[in-house]
Chains A and B, each alone.
Chain A
């Protein structure tokens, strides 16, 4: 069955960096577009970034443009999110999701807390 498992979250100071990972299994990872979506505590969902199956197409939300970088390694069935210059407002649970005309599978999320 399709599984997406995020890791790499934690507590980081403002201005710091963090790299999230998402391990995919149960499907042919290289066939699918993937995305990161976040959810601030008690709030709704916010789309963060998106990458095509071959990494040729990448789109980022304006709120993270220039600070976050999405990437993938199809040989390792893994999706990544490099987060730099982190701000308090980046505090959220970060989900990776498979995109197949909709976000049809999501992971359980990893919590990122930006605080001094």
Chain B
């Protein structure tokens, strides 16, 4: 099964843009990845799914247009433009086996701080 790697932290100034990265382990470049946002003390919230062709399916409920994704090689990116205070959260990426579904793995999460 794949291993997903995320940097533990990131920061960006209010109104700026930031790109978060989730890296799949070697051999899994065809895998899609799901991004989740988690605020302190809350359950995660689905943001969107990304493959090498970009977004797969629809964004999660209420996810602003400021959020977008890209995929390239082993990397899956989540970009947030015009960062707002409410975007300060932990961001997790996850991957499952699709229709086979016998495993699900998550990255360690990235804590995004808005300066």
Contact = CB atoms under 8 A, between A and B. Distances in A.
Interface of A: 4, 33, 35, 37, 43-47, 50, 57, 59, 61, 95, 97, 101-109
B50 to A, nearest CB: 11
A43 B109 CA distance: 8
Contacts of B102: 59
B34 A45 contact: no
B46 A47 contact: no
Interface stretch (B12-20, B37-45, B65-73, B77-85): B37-45
Interface residues of B, number: 21
Contacts of B36: 45, 103
A104 B47 CA distance: 9
A103 B46 contact: yes
13 contacts: A37-B104, A44-B108, A45-B94, A45-B109, A46-B106, A50-B104, A59-B103, A103-B34, A103-B36, A105-B46, A106-B45, A106-B46, A109-B43
Contact of B44 (A33, A43, A46, A106): A106
A66 to B, nearest CB: 16
Contacts of B49: 101-102
